[in-house]
Structure 1
Amino acid sequence: MSCFAIPDQICQRLNSVAARFFWGQKNEERRIHWKSWRKLCIPKKDRGMGFRDLSLFNQAMLAKQACRILQNGTTLLARSLKARYFPRSDILLASKAHNPSFVWKSLLVGRDLLLEGLAWRVGDRTRIRIGRDAWLPDGRENFRPARVNEQWADLKVVDLLLDN
């Protein structure tokens, strides 16, 4: 699950098998479902049963792989993917490419999820583009780019600081 995007139909069938097992259903016999599958997937700490939605779990595992490639670009996998799919950038800016492998298409699914929750740590302020990169908190635990004119969108945060 951490290397390949499992098709939604397969995830739904596996979820269905788990639900039937939980309800004790045998063959075509029907049982009463006292709660929806969605509610059974709520974590135990939030008073749910803690079942995992396999589609979401698969997406999270792929995001974890994309994060590993982003953080450690010296592994054999990261270097080979970089040479083929993003030679002049990093995985965050990579595109689907022409005739991509199934592994690469799967990693892009995880990368897209990663981008939804990814935020910059400002650090030395030389890499963050103020109008393009999500670096300002929006008050809801998310980050967004600064709203600036297009001509200033590529300025770096360090350009905003005054030298004393």
Structure 2
Amino acid sequence: MFNNYLRGTGKAGNQKGLNWLSWKNMSYAKSKRGLGFRDLYGFNIALHDKHIWSFLHNTNSLVSRLFKARFFSNSTILKAGKGRKSSFIWQCLWTGKEELIGGFIWVLGNGDDIAATKDPWLRMKMNFYVEPNPFYDGRNEVISSLFCPNEKKWNHSLIKDHFLKEDADVILAVHIPQRDITDRMVWTRFNSGVYNTKSGYHHWFNKHFWFGTADQCVRCKKVWHLQVPHKVKVFIWRFCRNVIHVRRRLSARGARVPITCPICLNDIEHMTHLFFNYDFAGHFKHHVGLRECGFGEIKKSGMRRLSPPRLLWTVASKCIQSD
């Protein structure tokens, strides 16, 4: 359905349109040359994680108690197994569970619920875990066992004997709350610490389709903030992504069309030729009074001073120069 809407079909309705860009490329943010569409699989995972987060924090709800009695009666949902003949709903939740694990951290309270060598709880570590080492294999001690007897302070000698030096130094630097509060989980991808679907989806997308910050297109991001009709923005985006139906692109995608420009009959019809190099383009720009201007002027004046043809030529030329 999405493909038919975006890529179009033939007049008879039974012909496929050209696949100019993959759904993955269009799922990137607008600042990263995409359109910000949601990947349906990833968004579904984010919705499943919303239910898991609810199970972890609303343990007294009827649904939470039902799932715990059926699938993880002797553990938590984060440590539960998939099972051999589990329901389809549980299989979906179990699949999303792995994505949730990589985005939360335990906040120390009384230390009774956090496994010192298996759970993420060290804020000063990059991944919040102790260093992976065979020295920790088979150990399940909770953090409260690392306290001094009847006191809420670290047992220095015990920690230095049972942990590697780099881990011991980080553990001893963790503050122990003196109040009697339980351990709790917070979501590290959102400022409030509470999971939401939007931040969960971005966490999943960045994990599976990471896009380097150095490759962000600053000018593409500015295009979407211009005060112009949306169809003009979309056309400029298509121009910058080289997905306009010029003959050279059509031929490269398998269409049986001549690649020679039908107007000048000399050069190949590509976007640079059509919009900049061709004599007609120069005459047109001179006729409508086009001149170079910056993005600041475009954003400031909007539709009051800049016509769509002038805007198109200015933005497209600057995007080509930046590439």
Q: TM-score range by the shorter chain?
A: 0.7 to 0.9
Structure number with the higher helix fraction is: 2
Quote the residue 1:30 is aligned against: 17
2:128 aligned residue: 143
Q: Do residues 104 (structure 1) and 90 (structure 2) align?
A: yes
**1:132/1:146 contact within 8 Å kept:** no
Secondary structure at the counterpart of residue 103 of structure 1: helix
- The one of 94, 119, 141 equivalent to 2:105 is 119
1:120 counterpart SS class: strand
Q: Which runs of 5+ in 1 are unaligned?
A: 1-16
Question: How far apart are the structure 1 equivalents of 2:53 and 2:17?
Answer: 43
Query: Is the 2:117–2:139 contact (alpha carbons within 8 Å) kept by the matching residues of 1?
Result: yes
Taking structure 1 as the reference length, what is the TM-score of the superposition?
0.73
Cα distance change on mapping 1:92 and 1:151 into 2, 3 Å: closer
Q: Which has the higher contact order (CA 8 A, sep 6+)?
A: 1
1:52, distance to aligned residue in structure 2 (A): 1.0
TM-score by length of 2: 0.40
Contact 1:130 1:154 in 2 (8 A): yes
Superposed counterparts of 1:26-65, under 5 Å = 26=10, 27-31=14-18, 33=20, 35-44=21-30, 46-65=32-51
What is aligned with 1:74?
60
What is the root-mean-square deviation of aligned Cα atoms in Å?
2.6
Query: Residue deviations 1:31-56, cap 9 Å, x none?
Result: 361x3321211134555211111111
Cα distance in structure 1, aligned partners of 2:19 and 2:88: 40
What do the CA deviations read for 1:133-157 (whole angstroms, capped 9, x no partner)? 12224754x3223556337933333
Structure 2 residues not aligned, in runs of 5+: 148-153, 157-323
**Match of residue 21 from structure 1:** 5
